[in-house]
Amino acid sequence: MSAPRLAAACASPPPEGEARPPWGGPAAAVISDWRVPDWPAPAGVHALCTTRRGGVSKGNYQGLNLGDHVGDTSADVAANRALLRQAIGARPVFLQQVHGIQLLPLDASTPDGEAADACTTTASGVACTIMVADCLPVLFTDEEGRRVAAAHAGWRGLAAGVLEQTVQSFGADGRLMAWLGPCIGPDAFEVGDEVKAAFEAGAPAATRCFKPAVQAGKWLADLAGLARQRLRAAGVTQLHGNDSSEAWCTVHNPLLFFSHRRDRVSGRFAACIWRD
């Protein structure tokens, strides 16, 4: 997913190269189009981000829609989720995401549909899974691979502290790394004064991640840039993935990513992380 880096105050180092999925089997042709983090995760920790490629959904949900709350046919969503589980060889746990900061510990018995916007596990074969269609998915692991976690960072959850809550779940042991997945880009995410104020209230430096839009009182916000700021402030210095360039923008890549802002009626793709 290499692309030119935005010359903005919120920009991070250039994005890493695109990795290829290490999994085989019947779903190999589908997952070759999914995004696998190119990051120094320890052995036994695996992660990916689906795209809309593959799957059986139709119409506005065309492809691999994993959201069961967006109006798609339930049988199609179930088939898509089964494909994901088969492809990764682990059980994705799907949350009921509510734009909050609740973090849910997962184990082999955790059902789908629990209300939370972040999750973490030390169990094997259980995939922390975040669904998005413009919000930012963030995946975490420690350098020893003892724990993994995932967070759903829309602007409300991000401003309220969902990333900090997720970082705290790792305790004081080990250094963390984070991978930021695709989200709405800084040229597409128009917000009001209240969003800018919500971030500046906790971190005055957040102002660098907002540019004036054409309409008075509106701003173009760099969601991934805001997340990078908050992660660094929380002590996470190993940051990978989304660098705020167009290649990571859900709105500007309709063949790859669902986008609620672009389409209004839309499916959901997902980022997952799990341990062997």
Walk along the chain (276 residues) and give the pLDDT tens digit of each residue. 333 232 233 544 334 444 555 555 445 556 778 999 999 999 999 999 999 999 999 999 999 999 999 999 999 999 999 999 999 999 999 999 999 999 999 999 999 999 999 999 999 999 999 999 999 999 999 999 999 999 999 999 999 999 999 999 999 877 999 999 999 999 999 999 999 999 999 899 999 999 999 999 999 999 999 999 999 999 999 999 999 999 999 999 999 999 999 999 999 999 999 999
CB-based burial label for 204 (10 Å; 0-12, 13-18, 19+): exposed
- 48: containing domain: 28-184+237-275
∠ at Cα 158 (256, 166), nearest 5°? Answer: 95
Do the domain assignments include residue 113? Answer: yes
User: Residue 14: what pLDDT?
Assistant: 38
Nearest-CA neighbor of 181 among 143, 130, 219? 130
Identity (one letter) of the amino acid at 131?
A: M
Do the domain assignments include residue 259? Answer: yes
Do the domain assignments include residue 87? Answer: yes
Do residues 234 and 5 touch, judged by C-beta distance below 8 A? no
Do the domain assignments include residue 91? Answer: yes
Contacts of 104 (CB under 8 A, 6+ apart): 95, 110, 114, 116, 118, 119, 120
User: Residue 2: what pLDDT?
Assistant: 32
Nearest-CA neighbor of 244 among 9, 3, 6, 1? 6
User: Residue 9: what pLDDT?
Assistant: 37
Instruction: Indicate which CATH number applies to the domain containing 60.
Output: 3.60.140.10
Do the domain assignments include residue 251? Answer: yes
Do the domain assignments include residue 16? Answer: no
Domain count, the chain: 1
Do the domain assignments include residue 190? Answer: no
Do the domain assignments include residue 22? Answer: no
